[in-house]
Structure formats: structure tokens, C-alpha cells
């Protein structure tokens, strides 16, 4: 046990990671040594940032809390604190069930930890953070909460109503990150599409993206988690005209049949979804679209699944993930539908969808052989440098592998690379001198 050291453990999404990074900066400012996701937590204080999105994530969070609660009981750590989405949703219940935890914090009051440690919060550092990602890229959260009423999603129950951050604050945060050497920015929120509506009385994602693209040192901006309903179409012009705005969109479509879209309360029809995807491809040539699909929602039939398969084959998404429905208490689905599709059937449908996507991904990647792309190098793994193009978001998308024997490359630097080989989810390349 190392005195005056705090170990932070982050579970869940990149939005949680941003919260952790801000807390780390505050803890460091008041005199603590801070470690993040260390292989072995050996500080006297442990802080766990939890996820409460779906069953598997909740289980992982609870297991982690119990693991460190046991360590505290054995006096291997002095204090244990828990924050984040799971804590926000089940604050009272967790406090009773796991009394070993010194204090549970919600999603938005974790800075109270500073006061509870007998220290003073540094408001002048509120836009600064300790970067835990590779130093050349970072996630930037532009809003909290969600106003959507999707049947299956517990996020609005956890985070509350949508709250856009002021544009000026986001600009200042990115300027500070640039000063720290960050070149690539992933804009994130539960719903990017809605940005600005609450604060500025209109959809302002395009304006924000344009303003951020103006900041010197911003090499790449990438947009994550848009909704098809109420899509801000003025974004197209910004993506076409600004070179540092990546031709990449992460837009969660979830399903395609009218039957399922209605049951999921998505606020969009099958025809509107088809039209939006076609418009994206027309307005932003060479765009790479990432989407996610949800299988096994109550009421889903085999015909719905077949319609979804047809949609995937026709639209040929560059990036696609599929997930099985998880019945979350308090959601519309939980209160109004019967979760009667067996787990095995849900997983089978996910597998069938991903098998189709695997072939599509291979064909799209093979079409890139012989072409050259601007890439950024993320890391070195044994014999290969791991890199990405503007079409690839960190951790979730295709990696470009470059043989180390071909010459030394610098981590975090941009190069031009020619694609020489392709697999389903990996590309192989050579640097062009």
C-alpha cells in the first residue's frame, strides 16, 4: 500500500473516461500521486468509475466494487470510493448492500470527493485533465444527458435531461489539449445530434464543429453517437469543406423494420432511415459510416431480422456492431413489454448479423489495396506499428499494420501509407517515402 497514492479504475464508455481524467487532474493538483487502470492497484485509496448501461456492464462494475471491498476488509487499502453511472442509479441500494465503500457518488457530483478528502477543488483547472489515452488523441464530451425516449435505454434515467456545454468552454478545453500535444479529437455525447437545442434554441452541432475546426493544431475531428431522428443536415457542408473534419460518422440506427422502430420508440421510419443513409453517402462522398444494431428486442420477429439483413447488404456499412437486447429495469420496454426472446436466440441473431458484416468489411477493405491514405501511428506491438486513417476511430475500428522491419516510425505522427493487404478488420500498409 503506497501512501498518498490514489488508483482510479474506469469501466464503461469513453464518456466515463473523460470524467476520470478530470478527477485525476484535481487529485493531482491537491497533492496525490494518481494512477489509472494499473495492472495492480497498490495505492492507499481506490476510486472506481462505474458503468450502468446494460446487464453485463453492471455485473462487471459490481464485481469490481466487491473485489476492492474485500481488499479494504483485509486492510489492503484504506479508503474505497465509487462514482459513475451505476452509482448514480443505485446510490441508496449500493450504500446499504456494500457498506465497506466509504462513499458513493453519482454521475455529476464526483468532485465532492476532493472536499471529502479534506482538500479544496481547483475551479481554475475545471477544463484540464490528465490524458490517459495515447497523448496524440483525446475524447471531448460536448454534452450530458439525453432527451430521447428509446424503449430499451436506461441512460436518460441515469443522466437526466440533455445539457449542452457552452461552445466557449469546449473551445478552451480543446485549445488546452492542443497545448498538451493532442492532435486528434473524438467529439462524444450520448446524442451529438441534439447539441445546442437546450442552450441555443437550435441544433448547433455544425456550428460547433466548424468553430473547433478553426482551432490551430486540430488535425482531425471525429463525430460519435448521432441519432437518425432530427439529424442536423447542415453538418454535411462542414464535413465536405473542412479537411480536418473526418469523413466519418457514428450513427446508431438500431433496426430497420417499421415494426421494430416503432416498438423501440426511435421516432423514425424505415423509409426515413434509408433516405438518410443514402443522403449521407451523396452529400459526403467517401464517408465511412459506423452504426450499431440491437437484436432480440421484445416483439422482434424473424421477418424483422430478415429485413435487417437485407438492409445491411444494401447499405454496406463500413463499420457495424450488433448487440443483444438487455432488459433494463425502469425502461419503457421493461415496463410495457415481455422479454420473451430466449438468450440463445438473441445471440444467434447477433452472430448472423456479424457474419454478414464480416464479409462486407472484408470486401470494403480489399477495395483499399493499392490506395494511399493519411495515417496516424498509435502504438508499437511486437513486429508491427499500429496505425489508423481518418476512417478509423481508436479502439473500435480497423487497424492499419505496418511492418516494423520497414523502418522506424514515431508514435503520434502522421504519415502517408499505401495499403498492400487486407483482412476483415485489419489492413496492412507500407509507408510512402
Q: Which of 331, 323, 296 lies closest to 153, judged by CA?
A: 331
What gap in Å lies between CA 237 and CA 196, rounded to an integer?
Answer: 18
Residue 195 lies in a domain: yes
Q: How far apart are CA 98 and CA 64, in angstroms?
A: 12
Residue 132 in any domain: the answer is: no
Q: Is the pTM of this model over 0.85?
A: yes
Please report, for the domain that includes residue 417, its CATH number: 2.40.50.140
Instruction: Let me know whether 180 and 292 are in one domain.
Output: yes
Structural domain containing residue 215: 137-364
One domain, residues 403 and 295: no
| Buried/exposed code over 293-320 (b: 16+ C-beta within 10 A; e: otherwise) | bbbbbbbbeeebbebbbebbeebebbbb
How many angstroms separate the CA atoms of 133 and 41, rounded?
19
Q: Are strands 43-50 and 2-10 parallel, antiparallel or unpaired?
A: parallel
Q: Tell me what pLDDT residue 57 has.
A: 81
Q: Would 30 be classed as within a structural domain?
A: yes
Q: Give the separation between CA 109 and CA 395, rounded to whole angstroms.
A: 28
**Are both 164 and 301 inside the same structural domain?**
yes
Q: Are residues 184 and 285 in the same domain?
A: yes
Tell me what pLDDT residue 143 has: 96
Among residues 63, 92, 125, which one ends one of the domains?
Answer: 125
Classify residue 131: in a domain, yes or no: no
SS (H, E, C) 270-335: HHHHHHHHHHHHHHCCCCEEEEEEEECCCCCCHHHHHHHHHHHHHHCCCEEEEEECCCCCCCHHHH
- What backbone torsions phi and psi does residue 273 show, to the nearest 5 degrees? -65, -45
Residue 382 zone, left/alpha/beta (φ > 0; ψ -120 to 50; rest): left
> Could you tell me if 327 and 234 lie in one domain?
yes
Residues 120, 99 share a domain: yes
Q: How far apart are CA 258 and CA 308, in angstroms?
A: 11
Beta strands per DSSP E along 351-413: 372-381, 384-389, 399-403
Q: Return the half-sphere exposure (C-beta side, CA atoms, 13 A cut-off) of residue 233.
A: 11
Please identify which residue in the block is written with the cell numbers 474485500.
70
Co-location of 358 and 404 in the same domain: no
When divided into structural domains, the chain yields a total of 3
Query: Is residue 362 packed enough to be buried (19+ CB in 10 Å), middle (13-18) or exposed (0-12)?
Result: middle
335 vs 160, 264, 328, 332, CA distance in Å?
Answer: 19, 13, 9, 5
Longest dimension (CA), the chain: 62
What is the phi/psi pair of residue 43, to 5°?
A: -80, 165
The reply to whether 252 falls in a domain is yes
Instruction: Give the Cα separation of 162 and 110 in Å (integer).
Output: 19
Query: Residue 117 carries which DSSP code?
Result: T
Tell me, what's the pLDDT at 43? 87
Verify that 342 and 399 share a domain, yes or no.
Answer: no
What per-residue confidence (pLDDT) applies to 3?
86
Q: Please name the residue that has the C-alpha cell 482538500.
A: 119
- What pLDDT, on the 0 to 100 scale, is given for residue 185? 98
| Mean pLDDT per 10-residue section of the chain, whose length is 433 residues | 89 91 94 88 91 82 91 90 91 90 90 91 92 95 95 92 97 97 96 96 97 98 95 96 96 97 97 97 95 97 98 97 94 96 97 97 96 96 95 92 94 97 95 88
Q: Specify whether 295 is located in the same domain as 148.
A: yes
pLDDT of residue 30: 92
207 part of a folded domain: yes
The CATH number given to whatever domain includes residue 175 is 3.80.30.20
- Identify the bridge partners of residue 403 per DSSP, sorted by sequence position: 384
Query: Which stretches within 166-300 are classed as H helix?
Result: 167-179, 197-200, 205-213, 235-241, 258-263, 270-283
CATH number, domain of 20, equals 3.40.50.12160
Q: Is the dihedral of CA 238, 425, 131, 140 positive or negative?
A: positive
The whole-angstrom separation of Cα 206 and Cα 283 is: 14
User: Are 383 and 352 members of one domain?
Assistant: no
Tell me, yes or no, whether 190 lies in a domain: yes
Give residue 375's pLDDT: 97
| Residue after which a domain boundary falls, among 70, 102, 125 | 125
Last residue of a domain, one of 364, 392, 420: 364
So what's the pLDDT on residue 244? 97
Looking at the structure, do residues 156 and 46 belong to the same domain, yes or no? no
Q: CA 329 → CA 200, 217, 240, 323, 363, distances in Å?
A: 33, 45, 42, 18, 40
Q: Are residues 33 and 86 in the same domain?
A: yes
d(CA 45, CA 76): 10
Residue 117 located in a structural domain = yes
SS3 at position 151 = coil
Amino acid at each position: 500500500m503506497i501512501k498518498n497514492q490514489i488508483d482510479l479504475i474506469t469501466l464503461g464508455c469513453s464518456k466515463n473516461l473523460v470524467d476520470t481524467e478530470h478527477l485525476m487532474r484535481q487529485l493531482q493538483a491537491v497533492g496525490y500521486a494518481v494512477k489509472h487502470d494499473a495492472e495492480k492497484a497498490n495505492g492507499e485509496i481506490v476510486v472506481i468509475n462505474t458503468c450502468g448501461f446494460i446487464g453485463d456492464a453492471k455485473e462487471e462494475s459490481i464485481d469490481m466494487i466487491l473485489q476492492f471491498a474485500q481488499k479494504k476488509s483485509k486492510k489492503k487499502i484504506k479508503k474505497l470510493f465509487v462514482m459513475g453511472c451505476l452509482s448514480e442509479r443505485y446510490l441508496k441500494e449500493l450504500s446499504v448492500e456494500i457498506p465497506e465503500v466509504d462513499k458513493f457518488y453519482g454521475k455529476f457530483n464526483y468532485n465532492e470527493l476532493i472536499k471529502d478528502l479534506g482538500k479544496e477543488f481547483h475551479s481554475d483547472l475545471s477544463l484540464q485533465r490528465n490524458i490517459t489515452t495515447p497523448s496524440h488523441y483525446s475524447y471531448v464530451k460536448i454534452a450530458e444527458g439525453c432527451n430521447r425516449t428509446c424503449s430499451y435505454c436506461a441512460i436518460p434515467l441515469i443522466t437526466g435531461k440533455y445539457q449542452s456545454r457552452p461552445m466557449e468552454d469546449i473551445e478552451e478545453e480543446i485549445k488546452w489539449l492542443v497545448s498538451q500535444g493532442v492532435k486528434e479529437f473524438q467529439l462524444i455525447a450520448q446524442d451529438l445530434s441534439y447539441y445546442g437545442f437546450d442552450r441555443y434554441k437550435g441544433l448547433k452541432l455544425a456550428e460547433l464543429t466548424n468553430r473547433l475546426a478553426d482551432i490551430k493544431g486540430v488535425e482531425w475531428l471525429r463525430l460519435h453517437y448521432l441519432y437518425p431522428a432530427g439529424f442536423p443536415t447542415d453538418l454535411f457542408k462542414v464535413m465536405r469543406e473542412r479537411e480536418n473534419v473526418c469523413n466519418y460518422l457514428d450513427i446508431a440506427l438500431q433496426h430497420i423494420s417499421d415494426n421494430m422502430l416503432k416498438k423501440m420508440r426511435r421516432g423514425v421510419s424505415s423509409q426515413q432511415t434509408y433516405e438518410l443513409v443514402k443522403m449521407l453517402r451523396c452529400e459526403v462522398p467517401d464517408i465511412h459510416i459506423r452504426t450499431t444494431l440491437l437484436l432480440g428486442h421484445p416483439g422482434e420477429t424473424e421477418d424483422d431480422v430478415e429485413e435487417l439483413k437485407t438492409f445491411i447488404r444494401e447499405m454496406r456499412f463500413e463499420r457495424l456492431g450488433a448487440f443483444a437486447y438487455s432488459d433494463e429495469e425502469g425502461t419503457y420496454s421493461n415496463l410495457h413489454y415481455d422479454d420473451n426472446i430466449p438468450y440463445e436466440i438473441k445471440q444467434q441473431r447477433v452472430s448472423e448479423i456479424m457474419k454478414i458484416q464480416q464479409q462486407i468489411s472484408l470486401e470494403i477493405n480489399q477495395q483499399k489495396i493499392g490506395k494511399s491514405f493519411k495515417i496516424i501511428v498509435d502504438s508499437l506491438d511486437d513486429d508491427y506499428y499500429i496505425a489508423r486513417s481518418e476512417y478509423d476511430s481508436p479502439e473500435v475500428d480497423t487497424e492499419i499494420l505496418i511492418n516494423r522491419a520497414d523502418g522506424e516510425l514515431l508514435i503520434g505522427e502522421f504519415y502517408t501509407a499505401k495499403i498492400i493487404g487486407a483482412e476483415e478488420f485489419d489492413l496492412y500498409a507500407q509507408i510512402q517515402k
